[in-house]
Amino acid sequence: MNETEPAARAAILAAGLACGAGLGLARCHRAYAARAAGPKRETSAIGPDGAPPILGLALPFDRPRQAHARLAALLAAALVDIGPNPISPRAGPVPVALLLPAWAPTSLRDVLKAQFPPGFSDLRFVQGGSANSLGLLSQAARAIAEGRVAGALVCAVDSLANAERMDALMLNGAMYCQTNPYGIIPGEAAAAMLLVPEGTAGAIGRLRDVRTAVEPPGPLRGRGLAACLRALAPAWDSGPPAIRLLSDLSGPRKRAETFGVGIAAAGPEIGGLARLPETPALAIGDPGEAFGLVLACLTLGRAPPAYPDGDAALVVTALRPAAALVDRLVGSTR
């Protein structure tokens, strides 16, 4: 990460979401803000302790049952809110970046490509490794700011709440149950965000900046996240102060330790926000690789009652070190 590079700024023209809070951005916002969403026991499955597992399902557990089919169904639900390309046809097709989990088969790509509405093309698949959905937002915003494209659609989809992925979590001792309170509550989600140049009429949000980093080697984790947060300083001072902090804190202690070190090293201003971070995994489960973009979409709605609410939010992911400042604008779903 180059901390001196200019901010990744763009307007958010549309967003779509399908997760454990429901299908559709407005429905997810209402359920999340009202605390009407929450992982539930799935009586048709067996968890690592022999009891029904707790899952954050967006779709019924067995419809569809196959993992790759769930990804296609989740993405289709998230893209409903995006609709046909609203950008002027004279600007040309809008490029798309889609983040997939490492386990998704390449044969699925043609199925997913058919999900996109008219006017979106030049589809780029990003899969596995240290890929980060917030990083794709950064790349898209910089391409728009440099005039290379008139808009860009960033999407991410993943499901941990299917039989295949749950088996993998159980084999690795990583799934939440009574005997493993630090395990992951499997969730699933697809998220999409359409970015356009700043100042575009009808925008529902603004990406003020986003930074990503690779965690440097060493026994102390969190230094990469701290670098991301420090690099946000110019953007932090260029708009309203952030009121909310949304994090990808889930079950694993390693992720919590990374978050704690990163926040502590970033300075007292950001540290103050961390006194009461929103942890959507408690409401929707852990949506895997889609988590960063899911958090960004949730900033466009209201916070749950127990948390401070405001139009400026800081999004932090510790699993893949990244941080973003997102502003909610008048006209966004609330």
The answer to whether position 111 is within a domain reads yes
Amino acid at 247: S
pLDDT at residue 251 greater than cutoff 90:
no
Confidence of residue 1 (pLDDT cuts 50, 70, 90): low
**Are 182 and 249 part of one and the same domain?**
no
> Are both 134 and 70 inside the same structural domain?
yes
Instruction: State mean pLDDT over 37-46.
Output: 91
Q: What are 82-118's pLDDT values in tens digits? A: 988 777 666 678 899 999 999 999 999 999 999 998 8
Q: Are 190 and 225 found together in one domain?
A: no
- Quote the pLDDT of residue 90: 65
pLDDT at 118: 82
How would you label 73-90 residue by residue, b for 16+ Cβ within 10 Å and e otherwise?
bbbbbbbebbeebbbeee
pLDDT of residue 129: 62
Domain boundary among 145, 165, 196: 196
Q: Backbone dihedral region of 92: left (phi > 0), alpha (psi from -120 to 50 degrees) or beta?
A: left
Instruction: Say which residue the tokens 């429901």 belong to.
Output: 22
Question: For the chain, how many structural domains are there in total?
Answer: 2
Same domain assignment for residues 185 and 117: yes
What lies within 8 Å, CB to CB, of 11 at 6+ separation is 195, 196, 197, 198, 199, 200, 203, 205, 206, 207
Q: Are residues 192 and 215 in the same domain?
A: no
In a domain, 218, yes or no: yes
Residues written for the chain: 334
Report the pLDDT value the prediction gives residue 216, as an integer from 0 to 100.
86
Residue 275 lies in a domain: yes
Summarize the confidence of residues 145-159 as an average pLDDT: 94
Q: What's the confidence (pLDDT) of residue 297?
A: 98
Task: Mark which of 171, 196, 221 sits at the end of a domain.
Answer: 196
User: Is 203 within a domain?
Assistant: no
On the CB side of 42, CA atoms within 13 Å amount to: 25
Mean pLDDT of 174-179: 92
pLDDT value, residue 215: 87
Query: Is the same domain home to 37 and 186?
Result: yes
**Per-residue confidence band for 225, with pLDDT thresholds at 50, 70 and 90:** very high
What pLDDT shows up at residue 50?
A: 92
Q: Looking at the structure, tell me whether residues 43 and 125 fall in a common domain.
A: yes
Q: Which of 62-66, 178-182, 197-201, 329-333 has the lowest mean pLDDT?
A: 329-333
Shared-domain flag, residues 54 and 145: yes
Domain boundary among 173, 196, 219: 196
The domain that holds 70 is classified in CATH as 3.40.47.10
Q: Which domain holds residue 276?
A: 210-328
Same domain, 133 and 42: yes
In a domain, 18, yes or no: yes
